[in-house]
Amino acid sequence: MNHGIESYGLALALGMLLNGVACSESGAHTPAYQGGSETASGTTSTTNTAATQSDAVSSSASSSTGAAGSGGTGAVAGSLSTSAGGASSVGTGGSAGDSGGASTTGGAGGGNQSAGGSEGAGATGGVGGSGGGGCSSGDYAICEDFESTELGDVPEAWTQHGDAIGVADDVVHSGQRSLRMDAIPVWERRIYHDASALGSAHWGRIFYRVELPVPDAFVHSTIVALSGDGPRYGASEFRVVDTVKQAVGTPDVGSLHQFLYNVQPENSGEFAREGPYDQAFDDEWHCAEYRIDASNQSYALYIDGEEELSFEDGAGEYDRSDIPESFDELRIGWINYQEAPPGFTAWIDDIAFGSDRIGCGD
């Protein structure tokens, strides 16, 4: 176990002790990465093995909110196992759209560009949004600005997972439309896209906005993830824009959230590399960029142009990163793994992925 994970677990355990927190469905749970086996209802069972928390969930299609049942094994976190009427399978890519913004799938991502550099700060538009979007200004492997999609639908070449998600026109970063995720207490509202065009090394950029107030809960939520077969742990979800938010009463970090690189293997416990608790949801638009590269097992995350988290483990060093040579799916939206009623309402806009850094101004 690395030093960052140890410090995270100790700090969170101390915070829970000081607040008299017990494991229950009220949202408290065993600290992540410290031996909890977690279900989507927020309940936790502890073990003696570190890093055995699992966000995998089994759900019935009869659930109107998407709340999951207990446990669930063998499912990659972020994939929803359903009975009849469940989510459809991921579709294949589409042809390039016009300037209106249909999803594009183009040439392979890749390259071996370093994660450094600095771009301008992300836009912080109001309801009407501001600049820095659209798919006509660059040569992207995947791009979506949601402008050509009917209200309430999801874009062509993407598949919907969870009911509470669709294109809306109430809050936008640029243009006239964005992707809206409505509040549910727990689990998934995401769209999936074929990710084979991204290759083993690429950049990604999204704009996101989270409505206030947010739930007062300890909650782990993913905004952007990739699926693939890691060289060491096999089939996994690689969460590249991922957050953990603390409850209001947590000492020193109450209501704040961190970003982390989080991997949930299908057949073993998750592991993570963590950033500081220095962020707060604020009902403003923010730009998240990431860089991932299998060749040197490296990753970097930038929020509004500022580096938040990075590592480079080196070729063949898979233990704490396990970045695969290719990716199967790109997953965008919101999924939270603990009960956090009434839930998060959020918007995503102007997403783009390619071999070069995209920045927050394009």
Residue 226 lies in a domain: yes
pLDDT at 165: 97
pLDDT-derived band at 362 (thresholds 50, 70, 90) equals low
pLDDT in tens, 200-257: 899 999 999 999 999 999 999 999 999 999 999 999 999 999 999 999 999 999 999 9
Instruction: Give the whole-angstrom CA distance, residue 161 versus residue 86.
Output: 8
Would the pTM of this model clear 0.75, i.e. be above it?
A: no
pLDDT-derived band at 133 (thresholds 50, 70, 90) equals low
pLDDT at 256: 98
- E strand or H helix at 197, and its extent? none
Residue 76 lies in a domain: no
Residue 27 lies in a domain: no
308 has a pLDDT exceeding 90: yes
3-class DSSP assignment, residue 6: helix
Q: Into how many domains does the chain fold? A: 1
pLDDT at 167: 98
Give the C-alpha distances (Å, rounded to integers) separating 217 from 40, 185, 196, 211, 236.
14, 11, 36, 15, 26
- 196 phi and psi angles, rounded to 5 deg: -65, -25
- What is the domain extent for residue 334? 101-354
Give the C-alpha distances (Å, rounded to integers) separating 298 from 146, 257, 272, 340, 348.
30, 23, 13, 32, 25
Residue 253 lies in a domain: yes
Residue 359 lies in a domain: no
Residue 239 lies in a domain: yes
Task: Fill in the amino acid letter for 39.
Answer: T
The neighbouring-strand residues paired with 306 are 303
pLDDT at 39: 36
Residue 1 lies in a domain: no
Q: In terms of DSSP bridges, do strands 44-46 and 36-38 run parallel, antiparallel, or are they unpaired?
A: antiparallel
pLDDT at 139: 87
Range 168-186 average pLDDT? 97
pLDDT at 184: 97
pLDDT at 135: 85
How far is Cα of residue 342 from the mean position of the Cα atoms in its chain?
Answer: 20
- The Cβ of residue 91 has, within 10 Å, a number of other Cβ atoms equal to 13
Residue 2 lies in a domain: no
Task: Name the percent of the chain lying above pLDDT 90.
Answer: 60
pLDDT in tens, 244-296: 999 999 999 999 999 999 999 999 999 999 999 999 999 999 999 999 999 99
pLDDT at 310: 98
153 has a pLDDT exceeding 70: yes
Q: Domain of 293: which CATH number?
A: 2.60.120.200
pLDDT at 63: 34
pLDDT in tens, 35-89: 233 433 333 333 333 333 345 433 333 333 333 333 333 333 333 333 333 333 3
- Which pair of tokens denotes residue 53? 């928390």
Task: Fill in the amino acid letter for 111.
Answer: G
Range 306-311 average pLDDT? 98
pLDDT-derived band at 302 (thresholds 50, 70, 90) equals very high
